[in-house]
Chain A
Amino acid sequence: MIKVLFFATIRDYTGVKETGAEGSRTVMELLLNLARVYGQKFTEEAFEEGGISDRVIVLVNGRHIAHTGGGDTPLADGDTVAIFPIIGGG
């Protein structure tokens, strides 16, 4: 089981703070599966021009997917995926 955590405005689109996922082998596959479940607003936030949008931060076990292969980042049982919108602070 892959644990998927949603934060900030992403929670508004999913209605839940977390969910479990089975069978997704890459981050891209997972996001596509989530988009099917959570609908249009989630899809619009997560994707852009066929790829994963710059408006979301996706971490796999704490690592940003930009440094682990982007959408091709492999997923395994027991992984935690955290999805955030771009946010900021001090």
Chain B
Amino acid sequence: MDNLGKVLRVNLTEGTVRSESLCEKTVRNFIGGRGYATKVLYDEVPKGTDPLSPANKLIFANGPLTGKGAPSAGRYMVITKSPLTGYIASSNSGGFWGAELARAGWFMIILEGKSPKPVYLWVRDDKVEIRDAGAIWGKDGHEATDDLLAAVGDGQAKVACIGTAGEQLSVIAAIMNDKTRAAGRSGVGAVMGSKNLKGIVVRGSARPPVQDAEGMKAALASSMEKLKTNPVTSQGLPTYGTAVLVNVINQTGGYPMNNWQGAYFPEADEQSGETLARDFLVKRYSCFGCPIGCGRVTKLGEKIGEGPEYETIFAFGVCCGVARLEPIIEANNICNELGLDTISAGVTIAAAMELYEKGYIRKEELEGGPELRFGNGDAVTYWTRKMGLGEGFGKKLAEGSYRLCEMYGHPEFSMTVKKQEMPAYDGRAIQGIGLNYATSNRGGCHVRGYTISPEILGLPEKLDPTDIESKPAWVSIFQNLTAAIDASGMCLFTSFALGADDYGAFLKAATGFDYDGAETLKAGERIWNIERLFNLREGLDPLKEDTLPERLLKEPIPGGPSKGMVSRLSEMLPNYYKYRGWDEKGIPTAGKLAELGLN
């Protein structure tokens, strides 16, 4: 298995580094990335471990395809126990860092313990050093990246680091790589900060080997044809980026407004991908080896930045009642610099706005800062910065909306699942995505099972968003396939054009194992179940926690095309459990675990 790279195990308490081999059986069963690292976490981090304690482990994991000839294969995962949810944190990022790690000959980095002082890791091929980071602790991610590259004397190296938010242990802190790409969700940045680890700098000099070069070439030719002819990957995403979703989700009546108090925003076009392209776009950004190029390089005044993505536009825009792109772009740039998850940050500010407008947060608490009122763009940018720096009232906001709303005695205003903020689709208008939010192993998340693709975009088939019969199966299959794609190192967006058979062909070429479409889906299902087992061991109560906020279950959408709708989760959940081979309490049965080899 050494042609896939080795495992770097770093003990930050003792200041030691060790190289290990990958376990062939684990690659065969869990692929890599999200799968392999979750298995490691499951085996090595005991039940009840405090996520911000030295006993938690932080794993950076590539897939077998990261850095190799497959399209859009620059992805890596950050896996740990989440300080936000208390369950599995499984954060995905693109850019160029993962590919560089592969070139350096490493598949995975496991970080253990806690350094007595701030440090960074310098990985140059097989030479690994733990170095003092005292001079850059306290700096934002952009400055830190520049300083780290200067310190190692190599401008071609790639950096993954935390900003001030991770140092402050904000449970919604991100890990940023290549300055503007984020392993955003579930507070992985806080875990890195808790270990006194500022960054990991990587430089590799080898071309990562492939088991079957001919097989890889054939798979590449076939998939490039599909990517180049599919309208999403060849036109929609490259032209407008993910922001193109603003108008279509709004026209469906599922664009969550004012902390989910509405779902249709008359001013949505002001923050759309069309407006972004016309007024702020400089050029496209493509991650490593990606023919799609959905990234946006944008200019606000004199400042050049990357983004915002659709989720960020929702979080700082419609969710906070803000229409214009200017404050949204500024808040996005702040999050990139300070290392914050844009979804959780924006939805937390929205929760704070509802608390403030209803009189639970008092004006004096804002210390003269802009009032937390829906529609106030200045409040969005000001409080995002305060959150990222952990200053004043911002420190409370940096706790995320669940803890914030609990503090004020009104948990019902926290639009979260398992304490993680929900993304940009209203589960009352779109039933499948609601089911996916409720059952996602990492809390409120859309990418775990992106059923928006069939429910709104009509790919691979046109599903009615209001239908409930079809959703348990579709959500399960999407969740399984996504887990496998995440584990492989390829980008989820290739799945608009590619199917399980395509991923199987790539995995077979990269690993030599006999993957096909069915085996790929099975591995994905296995990954989903081991994540579930991890969460259950940590105390997950499915009947209480596989749910949505009361607002989505009980308050009908007040206006717009989806007026009157609520989530019909209770009608879908039993069938979802059944489809997955779990019992009526949401626990994987002995039979299912035996089938997956997880018993």
Contacts and interface: CB of A to CB of B under 8 A. Distances in A.
Interface of B: 231-233, 235-237, 239-245, 247-248, 251-253, 269, 272-274, 294, 309-311, 429, 446-447, 450, 453, 456-459, 462, 464-466, 492-493, 496, 560-562
Given A8-B236, A62-B561, A64-B464, A88 B496 contact: yes
B561 A61 contact: yes
A61 B453 CA distance: 20
A85 interface: yes
A89 B245 contact: yes
Contacts of A7: 247-248, 251, 272, 274
A6 B458 CA distance: 18
B144 to A, nearest CB: 27
B492 A90 contact: yes
Given A86-B231, A86-B457, A87-B240, A62 B560 contact: yes
B399 to A, nearest CB: 26
Contacts of A84: 247-248, 251
Given A8-B247, A55-B231, A85-B231, A64 B458 contact: yes
Interface of A: 5, 7-9, 11, 17, 54-55, 57, 59, 61-64, 66-67, 80, 82, 84-90
B311 to A, nearest CB: 7
Given A54-B458, A88-B245, 7 more contacts: A7-B272, A9-B239, A57-B456, A59-B252, A62-B429, A66-B464, A90-B311
B447 A85 contact: no
A61 B429 CA distance: 13
B433 to A, nearest CB: 12
A52 to B, nearest CB: 12
Contacts of B562: 62
B514 to A, nearest CB: 31
Contact of B244 (A54, A61, A62, A87): A87
B462 A67 contact: yes
Q: Is the interface of B mostly helix, strand, loop or mixed?
A: helix
Contacts of A11: 274
26 contacts: A7-B251, A8-B239, A8-B244, A8-B273, A59-B252, A61-B561, A62-B562, A64-B462, A66-B464, A67-B464, A82-B248, A84-B251, A87-B232, A87-B236, A87-B237, A87-B245, A87-B248, A88-B232, A88-B237, A88-B242, A88-B245, A89-B241, A89-B242, A89-B244, A90-B446, A90-B447
Contact of A62 (B237, B253, B272, B458): B253
A8 B240 contact: yes
B246 to A, nearest CB: 9
Contacts of A87: 231-232, 236-237, 240, 244-245, 248, 273, 457
Nearest to A17: B269
A8 B251 CA distance: 13
Contacts of B453: 88
A51 B443 CA distance: 42
B274 A89 contact: no
A22 to B, nearest CB: 21
Contact of A86 (B241, B294, B446, B459): B459
A88 B243 CA distance: 9
Contacts of B243: 89
B214 to A, nearest CB: 31
Contacts of B466: 67
Contacts of B464: 64, 66-67
